[in-house]
Structure 1
Protein backbone atom coordinates (compact mmCIF):
# COMPACT_ATOMS: atom_id res chain seq x y z
CA UNK A 1 0.00 0.00 0.00
CA UNK A 2 1.37 3.41 -1.02
CA UNK A 3 1.47 6.07 1.67
CA UNK A 4 0.24 9.45 0.46
CA UNK A 5 1.66 12.73 1.76
CA UNK A 6 -0.52 14.15 4.54
CA UNK A 7 -0.44 17.71 3.17
CA UNK A 8 -2.04 18.67 -0.13
CA UNK A 9 -1.58 22.05 -1.77
CA UNK A 10 -4.25 22.35 -4.44
CA UNK A 11 -3.78 24.05 -7.81
CA UNK A 12 -4.12 27.83 -7.90
CA UNK A 13 -7.76 28.89 -7.65
CA UNK A 14 -9.32 31.23 -10.20
CA UNK A 15 -9.82 33.84 -7.46
CA UNK A 16 -6.21 33.48 -6.25
CA UNK A 17 -4.42 31.41 -3.66
CA UNK A 18 -4.08 27.67 -3.21
CA UNK A 19 -6.21 25.69 -0.75
CA UNK A 20 -4.15 23.65 1.73
CA UNK A 21 -5.33 20.51 3.52
CA UNK A 22 -3.79 18.31 6.18
CA UNK A 23 -5.42 14.91 5.87
CA UNK A 24 -9.15 15.66 5.66
CA UNK A 25 -8.83 19.04 7.41
CA UNK A 26 -8.89 22.26 5.39
CA UNK A 27 -6.22 24.57 6.82
CA UNK A 28 -6.91 27.61 4.66
CA UNK A 29 -5.78 29.28 1.47
CA UNK A 30 -2.12 30.09 0.90
CA UNK A 31 -0.95 32.93 -1.33
CA UNK A 32 2.75 32.11 -1.00
CA UNK A 33 5.11 29.37 0.14
CA UNK A 34 5.49 31.27 3.43
CA UNK A 35 1.71 31.02 3.91
CA UNK A 36 1.92 27.23 3.52
CA UNK A 37 4.56 27.07 6.25
CA UNK A 38 2.45 29.33 8.47
CA UNK A 39 -0.71 27.24 7.98
CA UNK A 40 1.20 24.05 8.82
CA UNK A 41 2.77 25.66 11.88
CA UNK A 42 -0.67 26.81 13.07
CA UNK A 43 -1.90 23.22 12.59
CA UNK A 44 0.76 22.03 15.02
CA UNK A 45 3.61 20.91 12.78
CA UNK A 46 7.10 21.77 14.00
CA UNK A 47 8.36 24.53 11.70
CA UNK A 48 11.87 23.08 11.77
CA UNK A 49 10.52 19.85 10.21
CA UNK A 50 8.54 21.51 7.40
CA UNK A 51 10.34 21.11 4.09
CA UNK A 52 8.37 22.39 1.12
CA UNK A 53 10.30 20.10 -1.22
CA UNK A 54 9.62 16.94 0.83
CA UNK A 55 7.29 14.69 -1.23
CA UNK A 56 6.72 12.55 1.89
CA UNK A 57 5.09 15.59 3.56
CA UNK A 58 3.55 17.71 0.79
CA UNK A 59 1.85 16.89 -2.49
CA UNK A 60 1.85 19.95 -4.74
CA UNK A 61 -1.00 19.75 -7.24
CA UNK A 62 -0.96 21.98 -10.31
CA UNK A 63 2.62 23.18 -9.79
CA UNK A 64 5.23 23.36 -7.07
CA UNK A 65 5.93 25.95 -4.38
CA UNK A 66 6.84 28.57 -6.99
CA UNK A 67 3.42 28.50 -8.77
CA UNK A 68 0.80 30.86 -7.35
CA UNK A 69 -1.17 32.03 -10.41
Structure 2
Protein backbone atom coordinates (compact mmCIF):
# COMPACT_ATOMS: atom_id res chain seq x y z
CA UNK A 1 0.00 0.00 0.00
CA UNK A 2 1.31 3.46 -0.86
CA UNK A 3 1.36 6.42 1.50
CA UNK A 4 -1.96 8.27 1.87
CA UNK A 5 -0.38 11.69 1.20
CA UNK A 6 1.52 12.29 -2.04
CA UNK A 7 3.70 15.29 -2.80
CA UNK A 8 3.96 15.25 -6.59
CA UNK A 9 6.84 16.36 -8.81
CA UNK A 10 7.64 20.10 -8.88
CA UNK A 11 5.71 21.97 -11.54
CA UNK A 12 7.63 24.01 -14.15
CA UNK A 13 6.37 27.19 -12.48
CA UNK A 14 7.29 26.04 -8.96
CA UNK A 15 5.36 24.34 -6.20
CA UNK A 16 4.19 20.76 -5.86
CA UNK A 17 0.65 19.40 -5.95
CA UNK A 18 -0.33 17.64 -2.74
CA UNK A 19 -2.98 14.91 -2.70
CA UNK A 20 -4.54 12.91 0.12
CA UNK A 21 -6.19 9.60 -0.79
CA UNK A 22 -6.33 10.81 -4.40
CA UNK A 23 -7.99 14.16 -3.60
CA UNK A 24 -6.11 17.34 -4.45
CA UNK A 25 -5.32 19.47 -1.39
CA UNK A 26 -3.55 22.19 -3.34
CA UNK A 27 -0.10 23.36 -4.41
CA UNK A 28 2.62 23.56 -1.76
CA UNK A 29 5.44 26.04 -2.35
CA UNK A 30 7.35 25.15 0.83
CA UNK A 31 7.17 22.91 3.88
CA UNK A 32 4.97 25.45 5.68
CA UNK A 33 2.29 25.03 2.98
CA UNK A 34 2.59 21.24 3.18
CA UNK A 35 2.23 21.24 6.97
CA UNK A 36 -0.86 23.46 6.71
CA UNK A 37 -2.47 21.08 4.18
CA UNK A 38 -1.75 18.15 6.51
CA UNK A 39 -3.32 19.97 9.47
CA UNK A 40 -6.42 20.76 7.42
CA UNK A 41 -6.58 17.08 6.44
CA UNK A 42 -6.82 16.20 10.13
CA UNK A 43 -3.20 15.46 11.01
CA UNK A 44 -2.44 17.72 14.01
CA UNK A 45 1.18 16.47 14.35
CA UNK A 46 1.96 17.44 10.77
CA UNK A 47 5.45 18.82 11.50
CA UNK A 48 6.61 15.38 12.62
CA UNK A 49 5.05 13.57 9.65
CA UNK A 50 6.73 15.29 6.68
CA UNK A 51 9.56 12.74 6.67
CA UNK A 52 7.46 9.67 7.51
CA UNK A 53 7.36 7.44 4.39
CA UNK A 54 4.30 5.62 5.73
CA UNK A 55 2.37 8.90 5.63
CA UNK A 56 3.98 10.94 2.82
CA UNK A 57 5.36 9.83 -0.53
CA UNK A 58 7.57 12.36 -2.31
CA UNK A 59 7.35 11.76 -6.09
CA UNK A 60 9.41 13.11 -8.95
CA UNK A 61 12.01 15.00 -6.98
CA UNK A 62 13.83 15.29 -3.71
CA UNK A 63 11.85 15.77 -0.53
CA UNK A 64 11.49 19.39 0.60
CA UNK A 65 12.48 20.79 -2.82
CA UNK A 66 9.65 22.76 -4.39
CA UNK A 67 11.31 24.34 -7.44
CA UNK A 68 11.60 22.59 -10.80
CA UNK A 69 15.12 21.46 -11.67
TM range, smaller chain: 0.7 to 0.9
Off by >2 Å, runs of 4+ in structure 1: 47-50, 63-66
Number of positions where the alignment pairs a residue of Structure 1 with one of Structure 2: 67
State the alpha-carbon separation in 2 of the partners of residues 44 and 16 from structure 1: 26
1:44-55 alignment, distance < 5 Å: 44-47=42-45, 50-55=48-53
2:25 matched residue in structure 1: 27
1:22 deviates by: 0.2
1:28 deviates by: 0.4
1:63 deviates by: 2.3
Q: Which has the higher strand share?
A: 2
**Matched-pair contact (CA < 8 Å) for 1:6–1:58:** yes
CA deviation map 1:48-68 (0-9, x unaligned):
574111000000012233311
TM-score norm. by structure 1 comes to 0.84
1:9 matched residue in structure 2: 7
TM-score norm. by structure 2 comes to 0.84
RMSD after superposition: 1.6
